[in-house]
Amino acid sequence: MFAGLAINPHDRSDWALENLLVLAFAVTLGLSYRAFPLSRLSYTLIFLFLCLHEVGAHYTYSEVPYDAWMAQAFGVSLNELLGWERNNFDRVVHFLFGAFLVYPIRELYCRVANAKGFWGYFFPLELAMAASMLYELFEWGAATTFGGDLGVAYLGTQGDIWDAHKDMALASLGALVTLLLVLLFNLWLNPDFRQEWRNSLSVKRQRPLGEDEVERLLQEREQTTAQQDHR
């Protein structure tokens, strides 16, 4: 699919810029496969998202002719049907960015950080939101660096000054929807779910941190130094 959509894209420079992060991401997935393989579900969700992204990269996100396809296939304008006044392919893909990629993010976080209960949902949501924010910053930096028609095509705001905010909000909503579905599934499947949830919110260390922890560490260091000097 990548090879097919790489042929004669709408804007070759924009296509190359759109695929810069994809290339880095694909290389990372390939290199990590043996040491840290993901589930088939995670790889499938990543694949589906990248397919949609490649369609956007081929046409540029603001020029994907989904409305023309809909009209040709069903004789109905999707934009008119939904009351859209702009090309919303980018909005849909940002929503699916959160919906599709939050599960691989959750799998990564739970397997590495061993998160359970509430934190196994809250922090993957936060990471998905942070990833969306970082992408918007990357878009802004690239558009500022290259400027001109390439910057406009890559940014794809279509005149909406709140485009970045709406994209991040939709990605967050997509991630939240998926995590709620995962939560309901685990609530049904895992008999220990409620206990894990309660345990995850219980206080594990009664001692405060901050200056109290610094004082404790300094005392331990002094004791260790004194013991070494005594020896």
**Is residue 14 within 8 Å of 153, Cβ to Cβ?**
yes
Q: Tokens representing 225?
A: 């130094």
Q: Tokens representing 96?
A: 């699916």
pTM: predicted TM-score of the whole model, two decimal places: 0.86
Q: Give the residue-averaged pLDDT of 1-6.
A: 92
Residue 117 falls in which region: left (phi positive, over 0), alpha (psi -120 to 50) or beta? left
Confidence at residue 151, expressed as pLDDT on a 0 to 100 scale: 67
Tens-place pLDDT, residues 71-105: 999 999 999 999 988 899 999 999 999 999 999 99
**Is residue 110 within 8 Å of 39, Cβ to Cβ?**
no
Helices (H), the chain: 2-5, 12-32, 40-59, 66-74, 78-82, 89-113, 119-146, 148-155, 163-189, 193-200, 211-230
Tens-place pLDDT, residues 5-62: 999 999 898 899 889 889 999 999 999 999 999 999 999 999 999 999 999 999 998 8
- Which residue, chain included where needed, has tokens 């490649």? 54
Q: Give the residue-averaged pLDDT of 136-155.
A: 78
Rg (CA), the chain: 23
Whole domain around residue 38: which residue ranges? 2-230
pLDDT band at 176 (very low <50, low <70, confident <90, very high): very high
pLDDT at 169 > cutoff 90: yes
Q: Tokens representing 71?
A: 């009209």
- The DSSP call for residue 10 is S
Tens-place pLDDT, residues 182-214: 999 999 999 999 999 999 999 988 888 888 889
State what percent of residues in the chain have pLDDT above 90: 65
Residue closest to 90 by CA, chosen among 18, 31, 22, 157: 157
- Which residue, chain included where needed, has tokens 């999707």? 78
Structurally, the chain folds into a number of domains equal to 1
